[in-house]
Amino acid sequence: MDKVQEWNELAAQFAVDSIRASTEAGSGHPTSSMSAAHLVAVLYADHLRYDVSDPKNPANDRFVLSKGHASPLMYSILKAIGAITDEQLLSFRRFGSPLEGHPVPVPEMPWIDVATGSLGQGLPIGLGMALAMKMDESPARVWVLTGDSEAAEGSVWEAMANAWFHGAGNLIALLDMNRLGQRGPTMVEWQGEVYAERARAFGWHAIQVDGHDVSAIDAAYREAEEAEAGRPVMIVARTEKGHGVSFLANKEGWHGKALSREEAEKAIAELGGPRNIAITPPKPELRIPQAPKPWTYQVPTYDDAIATRKAFGETLAAMAVNPGLVVLDGEVGNSTHTEDFQKVAPDRFLEMYIAEQCMVGAAVGLQVLGKTPFAATFGAFMTRAFDFIRMAAVSRANLRLSGSHAGVSIGEDGPSQMALEDLAMMRAVHGSTVLYPADGNSAARLTAAMADLPGISYIRTTREATAKLYDEGERFPIGGSKVLRSSDGDRATIVGAGVTVYEALKAAEELAGEGTAVRVIDAYSVKPIDAATLAGALRETGLVVVVEDHWVDGGLGDAVLQALAGEGELSGRVLKLAVTEMPGSGKPEELRDWAGISGPKIAGAIRRGLA
Amino acid sequence: MDKVQEWNELAAQFAVDSIRASTEAGSGHPTSSMSAAHLVAVLYADHLRYDVSDPKNPANDRFVLSKGHASPLMYSILKAIGAITDEQLLSFRRFGSPLEGHPVPVPEMPWIDVATGSLGQGLPIGLGMALAMKMDESPARVWVLTGDSEAAEGSVWEAMANAWFHGAGNLIALLDMNRLGQRGPTMVEWQGEVYAERARAFGWHAIQVDGHDVSAIDAAYREAEEAEAGRPVMIVARTEKGHGVSFLANKEGWHGKALSREEAEKAIAELGGPRNIAITPPKPELRIPQAPKPWTYQVPTYDDAIATRKAFGETLAAMAVNPGLVVLDGEVGNSTHTEDFQKVAPDRFLEMYIAEQCMVGAAVGLQVLGKTPFAATFGAFMTRAFDFIRMAAVSRANLRLSGSHAGVSIGEDGPSQMALEDLAMMRAVHGSTVLYPADGNSAARLTAAMADLPGISYIRTTREATAKLYDEGERFPIGGSKVLRSSDGDRATIVGAGVTVYEALKAAEELAGEGTAVRVIDAYSVKPIDAATLAGALRETGLVVVVEDHWVDGGLGDAVLQALAGEGELSGRVLKLAVTEMPGSGKPEELRDWAGISGPKIAGAIRRGLA
């Protein structure tokens, strides 16, 4: 059997198995799988260098199914390469099966690197993988299969621009131009030249090909593999949704629909019946040495006032001895202070420009290849990447994020630059850790701790310099808090974090002058939060006042209430002081007072609360 | 004085005033203002058709300062056109001044249509304005001044593609290519041909121009005004940051820095000193008639089970008699059921494809021109637009959003498609209204109510059909709730919303069979929430169990706790039942049970709570 016949047989098997799996499940996307069957048949049979028995080998080429709804195709590939059995294939979409509706890197699925299914994410993630390979001087490549509908997502073009700028010649995008989106024709339909011209305008090498002609596909892959060094390649493949079956091919109304058993039988017959071809992809050339070098570093310490964002940056710089540490910037590195890392490790500093989605997506890709990425921008602009952060949690990614310029305390720049919803956003990320240090020493310790944290962690930093609160020897366990003032006679507790800790201390001082003792807690760990200490404070003082430089919904106040409710019977009062009206410009202290979160305003609230 | 001299003098005044305002403030972005001074001088003096005394006139051309940090330039324009005084100009960035650090449409600033400052938003917003003008058959145009750094934002390319597709020939983008971003050179620097080629590849007419040559600018504007019908135009203007001042022009290190008084004096002298030129832009040709036509419609009612997403779509269709209603889709209209509106009002249905940021941005632009936009996608994918939603609140926009496919209840598609953080996200939007109806009749009523709501409103809908709960005559006030079961002997209260209301009823039924009376509340209005009813339930039953198909953080449970805390002394227990582990695929009922939010699991939690 010659190559062409082999590839075509394999593609037919993928189409058949995609139909079988989705019909068995009663849902799924067989037609979106069928359009790309020839593309992946040629890829897995003869181009992707991949050790099936060692899927985490960093020398492997990587395949990212950006069009995650074509999961039946992915699982059909896994069957053909011997990763899963036919029986497992038919467990698709069942409760408890690792073959979920969209691919997810659960432990049983080591051949899946990242979760997809929110469109437009595969290319930014693939770019991160490609950049990790470049850092490791690996000859491996990243192949990303994207749909045509998802070309409408801006994140795709963020990745296109950045891939060109960063010279990611090891990144190959396969655009499965099947013309039909979920609800009808795509914007560009079969105008392959439009995609090709756009790719060229973004600095890519573009190739147009008939996506069902296996010889042409093979030639395109060879051209891509031999393309100019440093130039990413897009292959625009004209395909048909549901290709190979008369009543499905290029027909509207078949998106995301499983075939009935009768329809499936007919379709499978048209495709020549089931097959059981096993293939072995080409092996990677070598195993990239990943010998962990031992390293040590000193966490910076501070005696003078310093902005927590600056302490964050200096700690990254100190940690640069860790060869796996990579820092990504959204073109604000002189504000977030990631530039301090850039100065000492320019080769592991990735300027992603003002493209927050691509920044976070690339970070997900980097950690797949074993890197320890930190990504930073203004906390306000981290909202731009919420869908990527959400999906990173589905990807079981270990990701470290920093949002600077928290709250009204940024001052004159006004509300567009103020992070006022970032705590709510990050609390709502599955398995996240949310940190908000007040001073330089706590910021440095918490930044250092993030390097080893699993899951998505987030550190919120402040624009202004803040005074030293903690000695250099102080430790800040995740889930802990610091009780800064306390006495047996406390009549209320103020819970702050970050900049409001200082306002809380001012209020306590003011009230102490009037003979009212007040406890002050620094809740530097917003999630997980120190529920026991908070519950004790409510029990002992009867009034807890939570003060935050954030909208009143979803932030520290809600975290405190949730913690208190989780500790059993509620008894006492909890007041939330937070930003409730739209701020304008002004000095930080003016705005905090206006928002009711300044020391005097907190003291006033407590006075009223105790009256 | 000839035109060239006039324009140059005006540009010099803009540069001088930008320096004066920012030096007086002690912060701001004078150099980013100076690069665009000539572009806007020619625009406001001779091209923008704009009635300064009637800024809301829909026949006006619109100017959007996408590079919002160049706010000193914007305020310098307002001074020149007589909208504000020089004294007001010098109040820039002061507490209480409407001249905020980034432009904001506060009531005192009717010449500002939308808030900018989060980059990459001006073009999607401008597209919405342009599409509104097209709907009204207005000859007006939209001019968007964008920075070059922000070309890295994917949202720009979403708008580029959609503007081409929708034939927005009345949209003109001015790309101020000043080469320098916040922290150094931009990705593309002065390679104007790169921007022009990208624009052409996206179907735009592109013009390159020297952005400090007023005659060339005037010619480019004329070319843009006379360009092919239906083709949007990008003018790539090569400029210098800090142009006109020897020690600022094209120099790094001057981003976002005000000049000292000494530096300012020197710079102003180089620019020829202060001027006080007043200009009157050309008047618009006419006033677009916006006579409100009276209309009436029947809110749909349902006797049988129906998915709330379907009731949402059918209500939009019923409301299509409102000529201002516009519906935007993220290429999932057959899932969110906005397609029902499309069927009856195709001219006011905007398919924005899979470009959620552009969808929301365009909705903001549409409402500036008096439209009543509804935008819908899966709730999970609404996270893609969080930054746009956040900024829409800063824009004081009236926006209606719908997120379908809430929670694990979507079933087999898996976590990438499940909205599990949308309530947290939408609660954290300033001034938002968050609605989550359980049945078809409540969904229809609440959808209808959204048309008249100010601010950002959000309706969360369910994939599955749900049984009728309410009669057609029932009313659902915003901020209300429905007590579905209640007795004097209630020993606990279950608070649900959407799909969990049914699970709550099942649990109450099960417990009633054991002799335990339980109250059930449908909290269809998540924000504002019915605090009084919830507080009464805690007081009377002592145990409140909140059940939601959402992550445990930031959603209904937090909203309930916040409401209870706001009502005074807390006494009793509040349990939160929500999704706490990463779901996979499965049947809706399997997944609800797995998550612990099914009727039996709720009943079990209450049994344990009462034991």
Distance CA A596, CA A408 (A): 11
How far apart (Å, rounded) are the C-alpha atoms in residues B407 and B417?
9
Torsion angles phi and psi, residue B147, rounded to 5? -85, 170
Q: Give residues with Cβ within 8 angstroms of A484, minimum separation 6.
A: A469, A501, A504, A505, A520, A521, A522
pLDDT of residue B417: 98
Q: How far apart are the first and last CA of chain B?
A: 90
Q: Is the peptide bond before B528 cis (omega within 30 degrees of 0)?
A: yes
Residues with Cβ within 8 Å of A137's Cβ and at least 6 positions away in sequence, in order, are none
Chain B residues whose CB is inside 8 A of the A576 CB are 562, 565-566
Q: What is the Cα Rg of chain B in Å?
A: 27
Distance between A355 CA and the closest CA of chain B, angstroms: 5
pLDDT, tens only, A66-121: 999 999 999 999 999 999 999 999 999 999 999 999 999 999 999 999 999 999 99
Whether A100 sits inside 8 A of B414 (CB atoms) is: yes
What residue type is A611 in one-letter code?
A
A178 close to A145: Cβ distance less than 8 angstroms: no
Residue in A with minimal Cα distance to B197: A201
Q: Hey, which residues 564-583 in chain A have their CB within 8 Å of chain B?
A: 565-566, 568-576, 582
Among chain A residues, the shortest Cα distance to B569 is held by: A573
For residue A420, give the chain B residue with the closest CA: B428
Residues 6+ apart with CB under 8 A from A107: none
Q: Burial letters for B23-38: b for 16+ Cβ neighbours within 10 Å, e otherwise?
A: bbbebbbbbbbbbbbb
Give the CA angle between residues B338, B342, B343 to the nearest 5°: 115
* Structure tokens given for A250: 């290029």
Tokens of A4: 């062409």
> What's the pLDDT score for residue A295?
86
Q: Would you place residue B153 in the very low, low, confident or very high pLDDT band (cuts 50, 70, 90)?
A: very high
Among B94, B327, B352, B413, pick the best mutation site for testing chain A contact (most A Cβ within 10 A): B413
B67 pLDDT more than 90: yes
Closest partner residue to B416 (CB to CB) among A27, A115, A203 is: A115
Q: What is the pLDDT of residue A43?
A: 98
Contact B102 A390 (CB under 8 A): no
Q: What is the distance in angstroms between the Cα of A6 and the nearest Cα belonging to chain B?
A: 32
pLDDT score recorded for residue A286? 75
Contact with chain B for residue A379, Cβ under 8 A: no
Q: How far is CA B332 from CA B183, B352, B376, in A?
A: 39, 10, 8
Q: B216 and chain A: CB distance < 8 Å anywhere?
A: no
Mean pLDDT of the B16-34 span: 98
Q: Which amino acid is at B33?
A: S
What are the helix (H) ranges across A47-191? 71-80, 86-89, 122-135, 154-165
Largest CA distance in chain A: 93
- Average pLDDT of B232-246? 98
Catalytic residue among A153, A351, A356, A421: A356
Q: Does A380 touch chain B (CB under 8 A)?
A: yes
CA distance B293 to chain A (A): 33
Tokens of A604: 């006033």
> Phi and psi of A208, rounded to 5°?
-105, 140
Mean pLDDT, chain B, rounded, equals 97
Mean pLDDT of B196-209: 98
**Which residues touch B194 (CB under 8 Å, ≥6 apart)?**
A201, A203, B188
B611 contact A CB<8A: no
pTM (whole model) above 0.95: yes
Inter-chain touch A387–B393, beta carbons under 8 Å: no
Cis previous bond, A528, omega within 30: yes
Q: Does A546 touch chain B (CB under 8 A)?
A: no
The 10s digit of each residue's pLDDT in A207-218 is 999 999 999 999
Least confident window among A225-229, A496-500, B600-604: A225-229
Which bin fits A106, alpha (ψ -120 to 50), beta or left (φ > 0)? beta
Residue closest to B413 by CA, chosen among A91, A93, A101, A89: A101
- State the pLDDT at residue B72: 98
Which residue among A417, A427, A573 places its CB closest to the CB of B569?
A573
Q: In angstroms, what separates the C-alpha of A168 from chain B's closest C-alpha?
A: 15
Beta carbons of A554 and B551 less than 8 Å apart: no
Amino acid A289: pLDDT:
67
Mean pLDDT of A570-590: 98
Note the pLDDT tens digit of each residue in A512-558.
999 999 999 999 999 999 999 999 999 999 999 999 999 999 999 99
- Looking at chain B, which residue has its C-alpha nearest residue A198? B201
Helix (H) or strand (E) holding B538: helix B531-541
Q: Is the pLDDT of residue A288 over 90?
A: no
Burial class (CB in 10 A: 0-12, 13-18, 19+), A44: buried
Percentage of residues in chain A with pLDDT exceeding 70?
Answer: 99
Q: Summarize pLDDT for B364-403 with one digit per residue, the tens.
A: 999 999 999 999 999 999 999 999 999 999 999 999 999 9
Q: How far is A126 from chain B (nearest CA, A)?
A: 16
pLDDT at residue A596 is higher than 90 = yes
Mean pLDDT of A279-297: 81
Q: Which member of B100, B339, B356, B503 is catalytic? A: B356
pLDDT (tens digit, 9 = 90+) per residue, B473-510?
A: 999 999 999 999 999 999 999 999 999 999 999 999 99
The mean pLDDT of B1-20, rounded to a whole number, is 96
Bridge partners of B259, per DSSP, are none
Adjacency order of strands within the sheet including B325-329:
B349-351, B325-329, B372-378, B399-404, B456-460, B433-435, B525-527
d(CA A264, CA A245): 10
The reply to whether residue B154 touches residue A150, judged by beta carbons under 8 angstroms, is no
CA distance to A458, B36, B449, per residue, from B289 (Å): 51, 34, 26
Reduced to 3 states (helix: H, G, I; strand: E, B; else coil), residue A366 is: helix
pLDDT band for position A274 (50/70/90)? Answer: very high
Across the interface, which of A68, A153, A559 has its CB nearest the CB of B354?
A153
Q: Provide the token pair at B81.
A: 């056109």
CA B528-B534-B536 angle, 5° bins: 135
Q: Does A549 touch chain B (CB under 8 A)?
A: no
Q: Does A28 have pLDDT greater than 70?
A: yes
What is the value of ipTM here, to two decimals? 0.98
Around Cβ A530, how many Cβ atoms within 10 Å? Answer: 23
* A540 catalytic per annotation: no
**Which residue among B153, B430, B590 places its CB closest to the CB of A154?**
B153
- Residues in chain A with CB shorter than 8 Å from the CB of B413 are 27, 101-102, 117
> Taking Cα atoms as reference points, which of B433, B362, B380 lies closest to residue B163?
B362
Task: Provide mean pLDDT across the span A436-457.
Answer: 98
Q: What average pLDDT is seen over chain A?
A: 97
Nearest CA in chain B to A68: B416
Using the predicted structure, report yes or no on whether residue A608 has a pLDDT greater than 70: yes
pLDDT band at A292 (very low <50, low <70, confident <90, very high): low
Secondary structure (DSSP) of A260-271: PHHHHHHHHHHT
Q: Which two tokens stand for residue B484?
A: 């579905």
How near does any CA of chain B get to the CA of A17, in Å? 18
- Residue B147's closest chain A neighbor by CA? A354
Q: Which of B197, B422, B585 would you mutate first to test chain A, the one with the most A CBs within 10 A?
A: B585
